[in-house]
Structure 1
Amino acid sequence: MTFEDLPLSKAILQGISEIGHLTPTPIQEKVIPEILRRNDVIAGAQTGTGKTGAFAIPLLNLLHKKVGESTEAKSLSVLIISPTRELAVQIEENIKAYAKYTNVKSGVVFGGASMQPQINLLKKGLHILVATPGRLLDLRKQGYINLDEIKVLVLDEADLMLDMGFIDEVQKIIRLSPNLEQRLMFSATIPAKVQDLAKNLLKDPEKIELTPNSSAAPDVKQLLFLVPKPDKTELMLFVMRNVIKEKSVLIFRRTKYGVEKALESLTKNGFKANALHGDMSQSDRSSALNSFKNKEINILVATDLAARGLDIDLLDYVLNFDIPSMPETYVHRIGRTGRAGNVGTSISFCSADEKKYIDFIETLIGTKIPVDNDNPYPMDKDSKPQIHKKKGSKHKPGRKGSGSKANKKRWY
């Protein structure tokens, strides 16, 4: 199938063609016709499979027919909710590219940035708004957004939205949008909590699940290094010098502190790297991501929440410095590379206390991750996690030290 086989207008096909897309991805092939039929949809597919195009293309097609030659946006009719600022910006960039030869107007609003430019954008009029939940509700409370007008609501990365604690905001947005005609939900996975949300939002939806939640990206070569925890930083530097070299790599760490520590080690050793985590300002996050996309740096160190859903072309490597405790997170991480038919590599550092997480991951993906023995910091396969015992007091229980006795004021 090509895009021309789908009932899309010439203006939309022209925008798609200019981007360089010739054929729809499997998720687009299944979802686009359902949205064009005005059905509610819940779709599950891994990141990098073209989910944004799956909802953006048909919604733009429907709006283009409605808007026609008019250059004025009289009402906001499509609302797309995204969990992170980076993802919201990325979605809106894709929409603008697809809509290049139409009169459909789109915009994006998100927290962590000045509100006034976003207010000015809304005053000019939009057909499509991409928003993060918090900033959307702030702007609605101040009277700049009327959710009564919304006809189509899209929840993107629904599982991440719930993981980040946005359930109350999402439910409030649904309650404040009484005139919805179509509801669409997209998620990398469809666990029970996403299904519960779907029951509240969707009406007789078409359920489209492209791949099982447990499948790892087929075009990703997976490698596992067994390494003592204190040697992980040295192993990272060894791998950067001898394996990854000048190629692009996204390094995952569990915490923001871990991200900063890894970045410090890399920059001290002359590598071009930057960080991406939730405590950074919006301008710093955008700058880091753009410098990575523009190949000014080849290393980005990030937490899972900061990196989820980012569309990074031709990423060569993913390096799991810390093994995630949730096996599904591993699948999401390695899915950052090996996208759109390209081959990528995933490297994971596993210390003794993380071996149980590897067991969970291998059970989920249904295969053993090959162990790379070309490792200058090997760990014995039978190593046990170190147990750190707190050192007790040198005094016997219930006995006071001599200093305490000397300072004690007696009443007698």
Structure 2
Amino acid sequence: MKDFNSMGLSQHLKTQLGKLGFSEPTPIQAQAVPHAMDGRDVMGLAQTGTGKTMAFGLPLVAQMMSRGKPAPKTVRALVLAPTRELAKQISESLKALVEGTPMKVGLVVGGAGINAQINRLARGTDILVATPGRLIDLLDRRALTLDETRFLVLDEADHMLDMGFIHSLRKIAALLPQPRQTMLFSATMPKLMEELAQSYLSDPVKVQVSPPGKAADKIDQVVHFIAKAEKLNLLIELLDTHRDERALVFGRTKHGSEKIKRQLENAGFAAESIHGNKSQGQRDRALAAFKAGDTRVLVATDVAARGLDIPEVRHVYNFDLPNVPDNYVHRIGRTARAGADGAAIAFCAPDEMGELKAIQKVMGITIPVASGRAWEPMEAAKPKARRGGKPGGVAAKGKPGGGRRRRRRGPGKAAQKAA
């Protein structure tokens, strides 16, 4: 379908879409919304930044608008998301759709006061957006019941599996009634997703708008082969060329990301960070400052790689390459949103060649080289023996960045703490 008028949406929803700046559906919306409006279960495969929130939000709100007021402690529709930031973003989008109606959209996530959430749930909720862990806590406290839940959405389902939520999802599935309508959206389709789909979906329609591992067409990707000790200097040099534009910098660990943020501040950049060691309030304030443009550089672990919609992000830096290749796609998906252009810059140290090769294999491309040449084992390069020493370790075919640099090993994967 080429426009929203042919989707059977109410005038209220079309008006709200106009206020939000949506003039025509994205491919995932065009494919998913008609089936969902017919009450079918939907499995949607699409990368972040393709409009998935409206793909499930529009049919969800459309079908619920004619229903009555929810009973105390009941939830009529449940939306599960893997991270607090994504859950909050979804709730804000749904609130914009129901503005001017009696419908209530609730949000429950970890890192916020649970007693206040319990009090709000006591009045009943039309649409509840939740992270799995906090929802389980509230269910254990009998703060809500899912007996009346007739609509279920699982957004970024593959990321929920990556984060270890499979047991929570199984527990929640056992509490959900039938019949209900379920919509599951994911960027990738790992084997465990099949089990999840069988537990939740009934005869689903499968819609797919881009193959897994494919990034947005307007992202200009490059890689710098550089020694680990010199990454920060290169980052500062590159950031200095676009101080007026927003940039996301991804680190692998919480400690490492916080260190990068402090070093950028020392270099004169307005920088913030978000990671698992930050309270929800700190994460919210950092994101708000970044969106407002008060902060131009945001350093993050993969907590920010999925679902966050910050249209003005022009540059994404992979300071550390991710252990999971698909996370690279989600990271760089923070730029080139809504048809804009974007740049994705990766730094590759000697001990990250395995990660880079895995990323390129998943994406089916060879990322263009901006500086240096691919690192390779010393044995493969067959260097000449040096006086007073033995060849060993890792070397490069050329001098990264065009200069002479020392090369040293970084910590192994086992020594790196997950974000």
TM-score clears 0.5: yes
For 1:394, the equivalent position in structure 2 comes to none
- The Cα of 1:374 is off from its aligned counterpart by 9.1
For 1:336, the equivalent position in structure 2 comes to 334
For 1:95, the equivalent position in structure 2 comes to 94
Distance (Å, rounded) in 2 between the aligned partners of 1:352 and 1:313: 33
Provide the secondary structure at the position in 1 that maps to 2:67.
helix
Alignment of structure 1 residues 164-243 onto 2, 5 Å: 164-242=163-241
For 1:130, the equivalent position in structure 2 comes to 129
Per-residue CA deviations over 1:152-198 (Å, capped at 9, x if unaligned) read 11111111111111111111000011334111111111111112210
For 2:62, the equivalent position in structure 1 comes to 61
Q: Is the 8 A contact 1:251 1:320 kept in 2?
A: yes
For 1:362, the equivalent position in structure 2 comes to 360
Provide the secondary structure at the position in 1 that maps to 2:326.
helix
Distance (Å, rounded) in 2 between the aligned partners of 1:328 and 1:83: 16
Provide the secondary structure at the position in 2 that maps to 1:292.
helix
For 1:49, the equivalent position in structure 2 comes to 50
Per-residue CA deviations over 1:376-409 (Å, capped at 9, x if unaligned) read xxx94358985699xxxxxxxxxxxxxxxxxxxx
Q: Is the 8 A contact 1:276 1:307 kept in 2?
A: no
- The Cα of 1:320 is off from its aligned counterpart by 0.4
For 1:160, the equivalent position in structure 2 comes to 159
For 1:400, the equivalent position in structure 2 comes to none
Match of 1:311 among 306, 309, 312: 309
For 1:247, the equivalent position in structure 2 comes to 245
**Is the radius of gyration larger for structure 1 or structure 2?**
1
Per-residue CA deviations over 1:267-312 (Å, capped at 9, x if unaligned) read 1111000001011111101111111111110110000134322111
Q: 1:76 to 1:240 in 2, by over 3 A?
A: same
Q: 1:83 to 1:180 in 2, by over 3 A?
A: farther
For 2:3, the equivalent position in structure 1 comes to 2
Distance (Å, rounded) in 2 between the aligned partners of 1:373 and 1:322: 16
Distance (Å, rounded) in 1 between the aligned partners of 2:111 and 2:350: 39
Q: 1:137 to 1:341 in 2, by over 3 A?
A: same
Q: Is the 8 A contact 2:85 2:308 kept in 1?
A: yes
Distance (Å, rounded) in 2 between the aligned partners of 1:374 and 1:296: 34
TM-score, normalised to structure 1, is 0.88
Provide the secondary structure at the position in 2 that maps to 1:124.
coil
Q: 1:324 to 1:349 in 2, by over 3 A?
A: same
Distance (Å, rounded) in 2 between the aligned partners of 1:325 and 1:116: 37
For 1:409, the equivalent position in structure 2 comes to none
Q: Is the 8 A contact 2:87 2:130 kept in 1?
A: yes
For 1:392, the equivalent position in structure 2 comes to none
For 2:285, the equivalent position in structure 1 comes to 287
Distance (Å, rounded) in 2 between the aligned partners of 1:162 and 1:362: 23
Provide the secondary structure at the position in 1 that maps to 2:75.
coil
Q: Is the 8 A contact 2:222 2:370 kept in 1?
A: yes
Q: Is the 8 A contact 1:80 1:155 kept in 2?
A: yes
Q: Is the 8 A contact 1:149 1:179 kept in 2?
A: no
1:73 equivalent in alignment to 2:70: yes
Distance (Å, rounded) in 2 between the aligned partners of 1:4 and 1:281: 43
Provide the secondary structure at the position in 2 that maps to 1:293.
helix
1:270 equivalent in alignment to 2:271: no
Runs of 4+ in 1 over 4 A off after TM superposition: 382-389
Provide the secondary structure at the position in 1 that maps to 2:202.
coil
Q: 1:146 to 1:128 in 2, by over 3 A?
A: same
| Unaligned ranges ≥5, structure 1 | 390-412
Range with greater deviation from structure 2 (192-201 or 263-272): 192-201
1:14 equivalent in alignment to 2:15: yes
1:381 equivalent in alignment to 2:397: yes
Per-residue CA deviations over 1:192-250 (Å, capped at 9, x if unaligned) read 111221012111111112111021211100111111111011111111113x3221001
The letter of the residue matching 2:297 is I
1:83 equivalent in alignment to 2:99: no
Q: Is the 8 A contact 2:35 2:205 kept in 1?
A: yes
Per-residue CA deviations over 1:30-64 (Å, capped at 9, x if unaligned) read 11111111111111110010111100111100011
For 1:395, the equivalent position in structure 2 comes to none
Range with greater deviation from structure 2 (25-34 or 72-81): 72-81
Q: Percent identity?
A: 42
Q: Is the 8 A contact 1:152 1:180 kept in 2?
A: no
Distance (Å, rounded) in 2 between the aligned partners of 1:23 and 1:39: 22
Q: Is the 8 A contact 1:320 1:347 kept in 2?
A: yes
The letter of the residue matching 1:76 is V
Distance (Å, rounded) in 1 between the aligned partners of 2:407 and 2:29: 45
Alignment of structure 1 residues 106-125 onto 2, 5 Å: 106-125=105-124
For 1:396, the equivalent position in structure 2 comes to none
The letter of the residue matching 1:297 is T
For 1:298, the equivalent position in structure 2 comes to 296
Distance (Å, rounded) in 2 between the aligned partners of 1:40 and 1:293: 34
The RMSD of aligned alpha carbons is 2.0
Paired residues, what number? 381
TM-score, normalised to structure 2, is 0.87
| Unaligned ranges ≥5, structure 2 | 374-394, 400-405, 412-419
